[in-house]
Amino acid sequence: MKSAYIINYNRGILLMKRLLLTGTLILAGLLLLEAEEAEAQFFPHNDTTFSFVSTTNAFGRIQTYDGADGRYDSVEDKMIDRFYQLVGLNDSYVWNPNDDPDDFALVDTVYYTGADSLEYVRELLMDNSFRSNPPVDLEVHTLVRMFKEQRYGLARLGVIRLEDEEFKFTALLRGKIFEQFGGETLEWDANTERLYIFNNDGSIGLQSLTHDPVGVVLLDFDEYDSTDPLRDNARDFARWDIVEQEGFPASSITAGPDGGWAFMNFGNISQIATGDTAYVWLAFTHGSDLDDVDDMLDLAVEKAEELGIIETEPPVSTEPGLDLPNKLSLEQNYPNPFNPSTMIRFDLPASGEVTLDVFDVNGRRVATVLNQHMSAGTHSIQFDASSLASGTYMYRLQSAGEVVTRMMTLIK
């Protein structure tokens, strides 16, 4: 993951990121086999394709709804009222989406990789130019991924380090189960490392996928500095008091009539080069009860492992044996996102010529990883992207007239 830019360059980076993600959709349509066309549902509130509805509103916060068939029917279906990041420098400045952004860049993408694998991606890029005289320039980003017939979302909350200031990072979660504050329980489970908000009508769950939290803070509304239940208008010193806390609550709390606040703290994650991105992937969901939420979070963890978001032990190359693969397949690179190298695993059902190429979002081939004869079996190869810029790339495997492609993300 792991220099200072002038403001015009910052805005150029925002534009480049929008073009990168948009270009990914174009490239996917060119390279993916048997891709299906779809009308983009930029706000999938009423898209029955999706069983789980999450939006990122104009104030940069993630919200979820639970109407009929998982769709948005009305505001009364709301479950998660706000879920976003806080970036704390000190007791005089804590970035939050209510007070700081003036420049928003929003990119929505819906793409098919097959009849049963529709994925929805929304990326929101924010600055801190609204507040007068900010001590540093910040670029904060939120990316949400949802999947067909899956009742969970994966969120990547991050910040680009534009200057040498260190910062602490927190994810804020506030529930409003079926548009009602009050009486819900806020609980941290030390065994599963999951954060819950629930009452008799429904439940919300949050789990970090890539970083171990250093602390969790649970507060009733009246214990927090905010004076408005409908927004977070706390002062910087109060937010900083929370962001810098380490340790975990010994018990749950029951919120009063204006609800409660939950904070998952990750401490100082700014040990990266200037210009690089620090981020945390989290799984979020809602359901009828805690068992339902746990089931969905378990599935979210499996999806994160499949996508390479969670680092698992990479597979090793195998020699041909009795149990040969029965088809050509290309696995998700590990890790993903990556910097600067990653492992790519693939299966060959028969010996033959193999080509593995990498393309940028404009369809240009930027690297050939393999171009040789290989034996049947399972193989792994390391791809070094040191010479490439941050962005989304496609990698394509070809053998015996068959082609398989996947996407990967390089973040420097």
Query: Is 1 inside any structural domain?
Result: no
CATH number, domain of 242, equals 2.70.98.10
Enumerate residues 6+ apart whose C-beta is below 8 A from 270.
161, 165, 166, 167, 168, 278
Residue range of the domain that includes 374: 329-410
Query: Is 321 inside any structural domain?
Result: no
In the sheet where 168-175 sits, what is the strand order?
93-95, 80-90, 168-175, 260-268, 215-220
Parallel, antiparallel or unpaired: strands 185-189 and 377-384? unpaired
179, 190 Cβ separation under 8 angstroms = no
Q: Are residues 184 and 301 located together in one domain of the fold?
A: yes
**What's the pLDDT score for residue 411?**
84
Banded model confidence at residue 119, pLDDT cuts 50, 70, 90:
low
**What's the pLDDT score for residue 239?**
96
Residue with the bigger pLDDT between 308 and 380: it is: 380
Q: What count of other Cβ atoms lies within 10 Å of the Cβ of residue 121?
A: 17
Q: Are residues 342 and 212 located together in one domain of the fold?
A: no
Give which of 168, 166, 239, 159 is closest to 411, Cα–Cα. Answer: 159
Query: Is 42 inside any structural domain?
Result: yes
Q: Are residues 217 and 268 located together in one domain of the fold?
A: yes
140 pLDDT more than 70: yes
Q: Are residues 289 and 394 located together in one domain of the fold?
A: no
Q: Are residues 182 and 126 located together in one domain of the fold?
A: yes
**What's the pLDDT score for residue 97?**
86
Q: What count of other Cβ atoms lies within 10 Å of the Cβ of residue 15?
A: 11
Tens-place pLDDT, residues 213-227: 999 999 999 999 999
Banded model confidence at residue 103, pLDDT cuts 50, 70, 90:
low
Strand, helix or coil at 7? helix
Q: Are residues 264 and 139 located together in one domain of the fold?
A: yes
Query: Is 99 inside any structural domain?
Result: yes
13-27, 28-42, 111-125, 302-316: range with lowest mean pLDDT: 28-42
17 pLDDT more than 90: no
Parallel, antiparallel or unpaired: strands 104-111 and 119-126? antiparallel
Q: Are residues 353 and 220 located together in one domain of the fold?
A: no
Q: Are residues 295 and 358 located together in one domain of the fold?
A: no
Residues 2-11: what's their mean pLDDT? 33
Residue with the bigger pLDDT between 4 and 260: it is: 260
Indicate if the alpha-carbon torsion angle 342, 346, 351, 354 is positive or negative. negative
The domain total for the chain is: 2
Q: How far apart are the first and last CA of the chain?
A: 5
Residue with the bigger pLDDT between 184 and 34: it is: 184
Query: Is 286 inside any structural domain?
Result: yes
The mean predicted confidence, pLDDT, of the chain is 79
Residue with the bigger pLDDT between 137 and 301: it is: 301
CATH number, domain of 384, equals 2.60.40.1930
Q: Are residues 58 and 161 located together in one domain of the fold?
A: yes
Query: Is 313 inside any structural domain?
Result: no
Q: Are residues 340 and 281 located together in one domain of the fold?
A: no
CA angle, residues 7, 10, 13, in degrees to nearest 5: 160
Banded model confidence at residue 71, pLDDT cuts 50, 70, 90:
low
Q: How far is CA 410 from the centre of its chain?
A: 14
Q: Are residues 258 and 346 located together in one domain of the fold?
A: no
172 pLDDT more than 90: yes
410 pLDDT more than 80: yes
Query: Any idea how long the chain is?
Result: 412
Q: Are residues 67 and 215 located together in one domain of the fold?
A: yes
Tens-place pLDDT, residues 301-329: 998 888 778 865 444 444 444 467 888 99
Residue with the bigger pLDDT between 37 and 97: it is: 97
Query: Is 315 inside any structural domain?
Result: no
Banded model confidence at residue 20, pLDDT cuts 50, 70, 90:
very low
Query: Is 324 inside any structural domain?
Result: no
Six-digit token string for 134 = 């900010």
